[in-house]
Structure 1
Amino acid sequence: MVALADFNPSCYLPSSVSSYLPNAVACPPPPSVARSMFDTVTSPFSSTYSVLRHTTDAIMGLPFLSFLLIPTMTSYSTSLNLLFFYLTWSTLVLSHHPLRVEVVGSLAVKFLFYLLPSGAMLLMDVLFPGVSASFKSLGDDALPLKDTRRKSVFKFARILGWSVFNVVFGVMVQGLLEWLLTMQLGRPAALRVTTTLPLPWGIVKDLLKGLVARDVLTWVVHRYLLHGGARPANAIVRDLSAMHGSWYHKAVKAPFPLSPTYDHPLIYLLKVVLPMYLPAMYWRFHALTFILYLAIVSMEETFTHCGYARLPTHFILGGIARRNEVHCLTGGRGNFGTWGLCDWLAGTSIGTDATDDIMDEVEESDVQGKVMKQAGRGVAQVKNAAGGRNGSAHVGTRSRRRTRRTRSDSDSD
């Protein structure tokens, strides 16, 4: 169907008549063969770049706090932020195919929250190893490139290449699953790419369900498929375990930036992509919820494998990072989950578990001392308030006594 903006009535006039029309309204000549070939080749890239630019604008302009607090806060700035974001998101959804929005948006999130910060940390480890080792929990053992010989450098470059390839490969598999659902099976899309914004409480519920389900699926796959024991009976499990050991555990002796995505592509698909994407497919996340969910997962992978001793929100990320280090140092004898909850319940934790992280955080924060201090302040305030009321009562009693004495003296006179 011809778009209304591209419709030109002069193109349907005879050439003898249209030749007398001015150039402003005349029918333009058809494009040349070279121009048509150029447009055919470059249109996917230009459309993808347009989606990437609009998606990045939407992600960077996403007012997380304003969006979550919109039911309770009705300030003009909050409403304007939400309005501008809604316009940006609506423009993106209405002007591009939902599949392209999902795929390019996922690539943008992985680049912004995983590849870019992990690459910066890795560059710090390579260029300034002495400074970086002072911040590592394992010291020099956590440096990814201690040996600078040519063979070691090529081996390290191979690891980085597979890590980046797996990121792109995972997003392509995600797009392939979406294409099979919508184009081949005629089913609704796995993610809801609509202009309607999800409710804040719905975002929180979906995030909690997705993160818990991801932890459970990761633990099951990692424990029973990739570490099925010394001699697993199933040939498929034996092959998967050998593949995971010869790729990941042979090359990664301690976590370093970009190491969580290094593995055989099939193992990466089973261990990382499917546990992350299947919950979103099952509950049909909104695209915005999935972007936030993928950003949380990407930041978790970035910080928990960087090797640094102190991390943001050390209570959560610090415990995950220490368990990943123990998993690598022991060759995969335990700590199969992501958040540590399944390992704690199943008894597969090595070293500290989730309860130890809570106790360590309580000790470091000196919660008991802070509570006692606040309680002491509260008792002192109560005593001061009671003393003030007693003092005012005594003053009132003395004033009433003086009034009675004055009245009695005046009556006697």
Structure 2
Amino acid sequence: MLYLFPFTTSLNFLFFWLTWTTLVLSHSPLRVELFGTAATRLLFYLFPSTLFFVFDVLFPSASASIKAQGQIALPTGHKRRKLGGTEIWIAAWSILNIILSISAQAIVEYTLTKILRVKSAIKVSVRLPYPWALLVDLVRGFILREVLTYVLHRFILHNPRFHLAHAHQVWYHSLRAPWPLTCHYDHPIAHFIWKFIPVYLPAAIFRFHMITYMVFVAVVSLEEVISHCGYASVPAGFLLGRVARRADLHVISGGEGNYSIWGMLDWLGGSTIEVRTEDTPEESEVEVEEAIRRAVEESKRRVTQPRNRTRRRKDL
């Protein structure tokens, strides 16, 4: 039966090429790009995140037992608390931000192709990319994404000189801990800066083929699902588990560190928040609750400081 494997693989590839060719020839490049991006986000981010979210809501006790931060990482913050308007608002804004990102992508591509009359940022063609070229684009795309995420996240969204840092603190860092669907919850402009640009700009700079871009977005989406699911054990153990714990600590600390995704730039920049493994679950939960309390107090202090300064100016 082994001799049938190459034939089956070739047949599947031929079927995929015919389907892709038909899609490209029967629709405009812009429509293919937007449909492909939306379908990838739906399949690899919204669908699994929604499943995790529903599981957390319907079975809070079971979910809390496998959460790295316990019941604090549930959408409601407690296994006996019912789902409220705040959690629905957060989930809805997360989905809306994804829609806004795809809309921004459409505006960029329309401007390039219809107004400026130049090549599109993403290459849509019948000819498929070679496997080696696809792999090279993915590697340099993820490297540039990591650099952009670290720089934009740390020096803009956590820089008190920018008003956008205040919005990021009030929106994203109002979370107690990451839970499904919260990866894209933020002020729309802040989301555009540290979620859309680091993904779309590398693809535009290297002019990814649409197939390469879909693979890129799919991997990013799965990474975002796992990093914000909150579960103690995740697929691809060490690598993605490390990413998930880094996201936990970034939110719980109120944004004191862990600005990049994989951690190398945080290590070089001295902004790493260490993951402690020697604590017992009870000690970890107490530390998490204390960290959340301090983060909330710090967030309130940052919110009230601009108001106090404004009052002082009026008094003067």
Name the TM-score, length of structure 1 as normaliser. 0.64
Equivalent in the alignment of 2:69? 138
1:213 aligns with 2:155: no
Q: Which amino acid aligns with 1:126?
A: V
User: C-alpha offsets along residues 351-404 of structure 1, whole Å, 9 cap, x if unaligned?
Assistant: 149xx9xxxxxxxxxxxxxxxxxxxxxxxxxxxxxxxxxxxxxxxxxxxxxxxx
> Percent same amino acid among aligned pairs?
44
Q: Separation in 2 of the partners of 1:341 and 1:146?
A: 31
Q: Separation in 2 of the partners of 1:322 and 1:168?
A: 27
Q: Separation in 2 of the partners of 1:190 and 1:330?
A: 37
User: C-alpha offsets along residues 300-328 of structure 1, whole Å, 9 cap, x if unaligned?
Assistant: 00011000011111121000100111101
The structure 2 residue matched to 1:80, chosen from 8, 11, 29, is: 11
Q: Which amino acid aligns with 2:98?
A: V
Question: SS of the residue aligned with 2:84?
Answer: helix
- Are the structure 2 counterparts of residues 331 and 146 from structure 1 closer, same or farther at C-alpha, using a change threshold of 3 Å? closer
Question: SS of the residue aligned with 2:68?
Answer: coil
User: C-alpha offsets along residues 2-46 of structure 1, whole Å, 9 cap, x if unaligned?
Assistant: xxxxxxxxxxxxxxxxxxxxxxxxxxxxxxxxxxxxxxxxxxxxx
Q: Which amino acid aligns with 1:294?
A: V
Q: Separation in 1 of the partners of 2:115 and 2:97?
A: 25
1:270 aligns with 2:193: yes
Equivalent in the alignment of 1:350? 273
The structure 1 residue matched to 2:171, chosen from 247, 256, 260, is: 247
Contact 2:246 2:275 in 1 (8 A): yes
Equivalent in the alignment of 1:120? 51
The correspondence of residues 261-300 of structure 1 with structure 2, limited to 5 A, is 261-300=184-223
**Residue 74 of structure 1, CA deviation:** 8.6
Q: Separation in 2 of the partners of 1:75 and 1:243?
A: 54
Equivalent in the alignment of 2:243? 320
**Residue 149 of structure 1, CA deviation:** 7.0
Q: Which amino acid aligns with 1:118?
A: S
Q: Which amino acid aligns with 2:220?
A: V
Q: Separation in 1 of the partners of 2:18 and 2:224?
A: 31
Equivalent in the alignment of 1:154? 85
Q: Which amino acid aligns with 1:157?
A: I
Write out the 4+ residue segments of structure 1 that deviate beyond 3 Å after TM superposition. 146-150
**Residue 168 of structure 1, CA deviation:** 0.7
**Residue 133 of structure 1, CA deviation:** 0.7
Contact 2:183 2:224 in 1 (8 A): yes
Equivalent in the alignment of 2:234? 311
The correspondence of residues 82-97 of structure 1 with structure 2, limited to 5 A, is 82-97=13-28
Contact 2:77 2:176 in 1 (8 A): no
The correspondence of residues 227-238 of structure 1 with structure 2, limited to 5 A, is 227-228=158-159, 231-232=160-161, 237=162
Q: Separation in 2 of the partners of 1:93 and 1:123?
A: 36
**Residue 249 of structure 1, CA deviation:** 0.5
Q: How many residues align?
A: 273
Q: Separation in 2 of the partners of 1:140 and 1:338?
A: 24
Question: SS of the residue aligned with 1:75?
Answer: helix
**Residue 156 of structure 1, CA deviation:** 1.2
Equivalent in the alignment of 2:108? 177
Q: Which amino acid aligns with 2:202?
A: P
Q: Separation in 2 of the partners of 1:312 and 1:156?
A: 26
Q: Separation in 1 of the partners of 2:109 and 2:239?
A: 32
Question: SS of the residue aligned with 1:172?
Answer: helix
User: C-alpha offsets along residues 162-218 of structure 1, whole Å, 9 cap, x if unaligned?
Assistant: 011001110110111111111111110111100101000001000001111001000
Q: Separation in 1 of the partners of 2:69 and 2:224?
A: 18
1:332 aligns with 2:255: yes
Question: SS of the residue aligned with 1:337?
Answer: coil
The correspondence of residues 91-110 of structure 1 with structure 2, limited to 5 A, is 91-110=22-41
Q: Separation in 1 of the partners of 2:265 and 2:85?
A: 37
Q: Separation in 2 of the partners of 1:314 and 1:177?
A: 37
Q: Separation in 1 of the partners of 2:238 and 2:24?
A: 38
Q: Which amino acid aligns with 1:338?
A: I
Q: Separation in 2 of the partners of 1:167 and 1:123?
A: 19
Q: Separation in 2 of the partners of 1:316 and 1:149?
A: 33
Q: Separation in 2 of the partners of 1:244 and 1:339?
A: 21
**Residue 99 of structure 1, CA deviation:** 0.2
**Residue 285 of structure 1, CA deviation:** 0.2
Equivalent in the alignment of 1:199? 130
The structure 2 residue matched to 1:257, chosen from 180, 183, 188, is: 180
Question: SS of the residue aligned with 2:272?
Answer: coil
Higher RCO, 1 vs 2 (CA within 8 Å, ≥6 residues apart): 2
Q: Separation in 1 of the partners of 2:54 and 2:84?
A: 14
Name the TM-score, length of structure 2 as normaliser. 0.83
For structure 1, which runs of at least 5 residues remain unmatched after alignment? 1-72, 357-413
**Residue 265 of structure 1, CA deviation:** 0.6
User: C-alpha offsets along residues 208-241 of structure 1, whole Å, 9 cap, x if unaligned?
Assistant: 011110010000000000111xx43xxxx2x011
The correspondence of residues 356-371 of structure 1 with structure 2, limited to 5 A, is none
